[in-house]
Chains A and B, each alone.
Chain A
Amino acid sequence: MSETVMSLMRRGAITCAEQTSIREVAQIMVVNRIRYCVVVNQSHEVVGIISARSILKAFGKDLDQTKAKDILLPYTISITPSTPLKEAIELMSKRKIEHLVVVSERLGSKAVLGILHASDIVVHLAGD
């Protein structure tokens, strides 16, 4: 059977709220040594993702007044743990995104289960 996202995804994800300031998002990334932050709403459903490069959009602005919702990349790609790994990687490669948010299998659910990282794929490629 072919591999699924489940085999390489990291369980759990670092999140922030839509109203979190960009300074705080930058601090969350630095403290956790990650290059993404998943933006969730009050029901803990994914709204979008902020990458290190999207933080640069706020450079020169007031970092305490600019909020996560102002610069996030909206969540549009639905990946679940049972998605074939090949399909997820093709999507990453085509869209040039380093992190895919993995959501629950439940129909219509946007509950965050984990993250598929490009760096984990490279570790997988290096070890084969």
Chain B
Amino acid sequence: MARVCDLMHRGVIYCYPEDNAKEVAKIMATNQIRAVVVMDESGEVWGLISIMELVGLYGKELEKTKAEEIMRPYKIEVDPQWSIEGAIALMKRKKIDQLIIIDPHAGPKRPVGILTSFDIVQYMSGLKIGHYETQLKMKS
């Protein structure tokens, strides 16, 4: 059975707690991602800003809002060796689409990757990256 480390993206795209929401929106737009990890300069995770936290700022002054004010504080420890079932149960229970993966060997609160609900959908689809056109068999 697949483990979290088999499906997660290695490495994280991050911002600093004092960055403003406009900068976070630019990071998200440029990298076409839905979540940005908030880390301090020592590389310790503080939290996560998902796309919905930014959407909630529409009409407000983004330059005056700091990342640490809108982030979801990091509380959930997910180990790369966890089973996918464990990660799915957590996503469903917390109603979240991204999990920050922490490797205990890398040090406390040191992120090694991110697992999204879409990574699991890709696994469930049975399709391998890059060969969609040949692998997708539509019923005629």
Contacts and interface: CB of A to CB of B under 8 A. Distances in A.
Chain A interface, >50% SS class: helix
Contacts of A35: 34, 117-118, 121
Contacts of A60: 85
Nearest to B138: A24
B13 interface: no
Interface string B98-129: 00000000000000000011101110111100
Chain B interface, >50% SS class: helix
Contacts, number: 110
Contacts of B28: 119, 122, 126
21 contacts: A30-B127, A31-B132, A52-B117, A55-B117, A56-B88, A58-B124, A59-B124, A63-B124, A89-B58, A92-B52, A93-B52, A93-B58, A96-B95, A121-B54, A121-B58, A122-B25, A122-B28, A122-B55, A125-B22, A126-B22, A126-B26
Interface of A: 22-23, 26-27, 29-31, 35, 51-53, 55-60, 63, 85-86, 89, 92-93, 96, 98, 118-119, 121-123, 125-128
